[in-house]
Structure formats: C-alpha cells, structure tokens
Structure 1
C-alpha cells in the first residue's frame, strides 16, 4: 500500500545559492538564511498539523541538515525514527556543489544523528560513471527508482528532502522549471502529492499528483499544463540545462524522435509564458530568497 501523502521539500538556502562561483564548493552547507527557512517551515508544518511518520533525504549535507532542522520536533517525538539517506535523491549535476562527501566522512560528521546511511555505498557520490552520472536518461531512471522506493513505504505521511532540478524529474512537472537557477522550486518550499492509483501504467511508473487545493493556491488559479505541454516544456528545460552544464543529453536521445527544432509553436505560450524565462545564464538562484512555503494543506 502506497503512502497516503508525500511532502516534497527542496533543501534550504545553501552557500552555493549565493553566486555561481560558489558552485565550486564541495557539498556546501546551509547559510544562516537557510537555517531560518527550516525553522519557519517547521512552524508552518506544525500549524498545518502534518503527521510525518517517515523522512527520506538526499545524502547531500544541505538536504540532511534541512531534514534535521525542519523535522527536529518530529524526530524528538519519535525516538526510533531515522532519516533515510537515499542516494537516488542526490542532485542531477556533476558540479562540485552537487557531489556529496564520501560515506566515511558523512558517518563521521553525522555521528550520533538520527540518520540511516545503510543504503549508501562507497560509490554513491561518483558522478563520473555509473547510475549517478548527469545523463538525462539515467536521471529519469533514478527519479523513477526513488518514486518506487517511496511508493513501497508502509507509512502514511512521508517527507522527502531533495534538490531543485531533481524535483522536476521526480514530479514530472516542468511548470516553472526555468524560473530560477536550474529549478522552479524555492528553497525550503514544500508541495504535497498523492500517488496516482488510477491506472496500471500510473502505478507501474509510480506517478505522483500534486494535491489540487495547494496547487491552486501556489499557481494563483492557473490551469495545470497538459501532458503534451509538460513533455514540450521538459525538452526545453533539459536542453537549456544541458547548455548550462547541469546535465548531459546522450546523442541517442538527441538523434531520436525529439531531435528536430524545439516545438515552440506547439506550446501554449499564454499558459506557460509566466512559468519560465529563456535567459541563458543565471548567476545566482533567483528562487533562493523567496519566503518559505505557503502552499501547505
């Protein structure tokens, strides 16, 4: 039985969000602003009476500290609860800021903290070869693998702390994807989803759907993009991110069925114009300074 709800959170503001030069920092920590974002989100979740009974996070330090700070009260109230560090939830790129610390360093830094590192091996942070290379097909595969892991959880309310670009692959929702530096998610933003159990294909894919009312408030009553528009916007985003060095599109995909010119004419530009910008380079994370999530249930 799949969890009743998934509460997806982008990590709080980190030092790599301050400027593009800081993308060279290895596995950066949260800024004081990011720590305060966690405190704010924790209060909002408490006010919304969310009953979290499982926490899963990227093994990157900014995600782990976001989970520890945001869900501190949850962890204190459930002494046996551990944050599950899931390697499939790490960010898409091979930039230094998106490469995690070796397992032995994580174990040393987080000794005594309620974190389960048992799903990590010595190669979990290898972005040069293997399943975590920044190849778009591998990213899609591990995003689905992460959804299937979450789908298999027996708990009711699962919180997931991960990264901005990967969240578009996990949710398969590309609205707003180019509004910031590699993502449309604000730092420490929370969105709530259910698993789609309406068809065999949806169950097999572990498809998730955002709850309608939080989506309506967050999107200011915009209509959701259609399936075709999502696919077209996904292609725009992936090509843009590839040009900016966040991921790699294999030649086989470029030469495949989506090879030609971008289908701009097919996009409903009135609907998606406010969801992304075509600026080729963003020197800081425009979404990072936004206030904490306002789309709780």
Structure 2
C-alpha cells in the first residue's frame, strides 16, 4: 500500500458572493458551515501525516476548520505558494507573510517557513504569473513536493499515510492533470470542500521526474456512484484542458493591462499607496459584510461560476 494524497477545494468565500474585487477573500458563513461538514465527514484524520495548503486565507481557514481538528496535535499546516490560485484577480491575490503571521501566529499551527514576504505577486517576473508554462511548472513542483512527503511517510513505516492538500478549484485541475468538468462556462469541476483521493505512480522514480497522480477507485465511486460514467469519460480527460489554457491566457492579458495601467499612472502621478501594500483595513471580517461599493475593475473571478 502507498500513501494517499487527499486534495480538497476550499469552502465558499466572500468573492463567490460579492465579487472578485474582495482582496484575498475569506470564508463566508456558508463556507464555515461547509468546513463543519468536512470536519464531520472526512474519514482519514487519524492517518494524516501532513497538511499542505495554499497561502490564500480561504484555503488556510478551510484547513484549520475542516481538517486540523481531525488530526494529531503535532501536525502543522504547511503553506505552499505553489498551491495558490491562478487568477490574478484581487480575490486570488494574497497578503504578505508578515500580515499572515499576524493573523495565524497565535495557536493555529501554521508553518510559513516556505513563504517569502511577497509570495503573492503574480507579475511576469515571478513564478506565479498566469502563463501556461509557469502554471505547469508549479503544478509539477507541487507534485514533486507531495512525492517527497509520501516517500518520507514510507520510510517512517507509514505506508497507509494520508497527505492532505487544500487548494483551489482551478489549480486542482492542473495539479491532477484531470480537466474533466472544465468548459467554456465552468472554470472547475470541483465543488466547495470537495475532496478526492489520489496515489502517486512509481513513487521511487528519480526525484527529477514528474510524478503522476491517479485517483483511487474508492474516490471515483464515492463521487460518481459507479466506475462506469468515470471510465466512459477517460477519453475526455484532457480535451477540456483547452478551455483551462484559454483562461490562463486571458489572465495573462489581464496582468499586461494592469501593468500598463500602473506604469502610466506612476509616470504621471506619485501614488499614495502601492497596490502591493496591505493593511488591516483591507481585511474582511467574517462577521461583517464586505464592502461592495466598488466595481471589480474588469477582473474576472473564476470561482463565481460555480456558485
């Protein structure tokens, strides 16, 4: 038996309801309720050896509320920037490491060692820009990281280990290389707090090779009720990738437009505040309704399509 990778999409967040202008959107009350259900129904807590999460707050909070209470006390949530969402919209743009530290340092068991201060930047000079080859590269990097964790579990005699990944609906398709459910009108086939289980093929191949994630039979049946619909759609596993690729290209053009706008603005007027800066006034309190008085400035939030 080999370790299992359980991939979870975050719960509903403010941008799903109010729009993509909400910076690093946090969970709504409905999202918190979804995490409560996840906590009650996720069956593998006692076997979890690692939790890794996107550093976007809706993913961290999903891990804290939906998974962490089910596992051993010594396990921390490892924040992995490779797992962040692809879109450059404000709602999928995170906050600085220091701001995250202020929010999660007090008793939340969150490990931020792999974050730099500006991990959330998605300009073309960063690894997280919405360019197809960069999305593929960080998905591959994430798979290699998960393989490393699985190897360590085997070496520790925990062949039945479960490694939990909390990420986003769109990036999950690139991580698993299974694009079923993506279409011209749907950015993701993953629903809020949905989890699917995978195993890594050829787990002891060279560390430089790209691991392959294969969904377990149990996971497929739990989602579909039968292997038949799933097996009939195997041939369409990759064809929806064209839709996903086109979205990444559209996001890339968004970044071009935004960078040109900022460049023009900075040459004509000294800005009072950089778009990269963050203070507490940006943060939506889960108990308060987000400010929706401003328009989204043309940003498109892919998660809205599922809600």
Deviations 1:276-297 (A, max 9, x none): xxxxx99973534xxxxxxxxx
Deviations 1:225-259 (A, max 9, x none): 446x43332123322x247x44569xxxxxxxxxx
Residues 92 and 247, structure 1, Cα contact 8 Å, conserved in 2: no
Alignment of 1:277-296 (within 5 A): 285-288=304-307
Q: Which ranges in structure 1 are unaligned for 5 or more consecutive residues?
A: 250-280, 289-297
2:36 — aligned with what? Answer: 39
Alpha-carbon distance in structure 1 between the residues aligned to 2:116 and 2:81:
9
Deviations 1:177-229 (A, max 9, x none): 238652110010000000012895999211100012321342353134446x4
Residues 178 and 238, structure 2, Cα contact 8 Å, conserved in 1: no
1:206 — aligned with what? Answer: 211
Provide the secondary structure at the position in 2 that maps to 1:130. Answer: coil
Alpha-carbon distance in structure 2 between the residues aligned to 1:247 and 1:52:
37
Displacement of 1:52 after TM fit? 1.5
User: After the TM superposition, which of the residue ranges 199-208 and 154-163 deviates more from structure 2?
Assistant: 199-208
Residues 164 and 185, structure 1, Cα contact 8 Å, conserved in 2: yes
Aligned-CA RMSD value? 2.8
2:93 corresponds to 1:96: no
CA pair 283-69 structure 1, distance change in 2 beyond 3 A: closer
CA pair 119-74 structure 1, distance change in 2 beyond 3 A: same
2:162 corresponds to 1:157: yes
Residues 59 and 85, structure 1, Cα contact 8 Å, conserved in 2: yes
2:76 — aligned with what? Answer: 82
Q: Which ranges in structure 2 are unaligned for 5 or more consecutive residues?
A: 154-160, 255-299
CA pair 200-116 structure 1, distance change in 2 beyond 3 A: closer
Alpha-carbon distance in structure 1 between the residues aligned to 2:199 and 2:33:
28
2:180 corresponds to 1:175: yes
2:149 corresponds to 1:139: no
2:132 corresponds to 1:127: no
Alignment of 1:195-234 (within 5 A): 195-197=200-202, 204-220=209-225, 221-224=228-231, 225-226=233-234, 229-234=236-241
Alpha-carbon distance in structure 2 between the residues aligned to 1:204 and 1:226:
24
Displacement of 1:130 after TM fit? 1.0
Alpha-carbon distance in structure 2 between the residues aligned to 1:186 and 1:120:
27
Residues 57 and 86, structure 1, Cα contact 8 Å, conserved in 2: yes
CA pair 189-195 structure 1, distance change in 2 beyond 3 A: same
TM-score, normalization: structure 2?
0.73
CA pair 102-66 structure 1, distance change in 2 beyond 3 A: same
CA pair 121-283 structure 1, distance change in 2 beyond 3 A: closer
TM-score, normalization: structure 1?
0.75
The structure with the largest alpha-carbon Rg is 2
Displacement of 1:111 after TM fit? 1.7
Alignment of 1:19-58 (within 5 A): 19=18, 22-46=19-43, 51-58=47-54
